[in-house]
Amino acid sequence: MVTYKNRPALVVQDENVQTGLDQRLVVLITSNLDRKGVTRIRVNKNSAEGQQMGLETDSVIVADNVATIPRVAIYTAIGTCPLMGDVSRSLKQILGLN
């Protein structure tokens, strides 16, 4: 039996881009603070950014862990990410678009 756990993620796909697919591109958000690297962005829950994102714990946006998930798997939005410039730079780096 396969079990799933609800996890926080950051939707990085522009909602205005019509793909014809009922899926969204996301990057992982983890509370494992040992995940360090140039494409990983630390966010403290008590910072202005962490509060705007609705984080419950200090977290790391892991921009090098991209996934496609069905739209129905997104249960709720807990906030917005004011760090999209940093996320964009990280995505460009892992995709070789610099």
For residue 3, being part of any structural domain is answered with: no
The pLDDT value recorded for residue 95 is: 93
The pLDDT value recorded for residue 7 is: 85
Q: How many structural domains comprise the chain?
A: 1
Per-residue model confidence as pLDDT tens digits over 1-15: 766 778 899 999 988
State the pTM of this model.
Answer: 0.89
For residue 88, being part of any structural domain is answered with: yes
Specify the CATH number for the domain of residue 41: 2.30.30.110
Exposure string for 29-65, b = 16+ CB within 10 A, e = fewer: bbeeeebeeebbbebeeeeebbeebebeeebbbbbbb
Per-residue model confidence as pLDDT tens digits over 42-97: 999 999 999 999 999 999 999 999 999 999 999 899 999 999 999 999 999 999 99
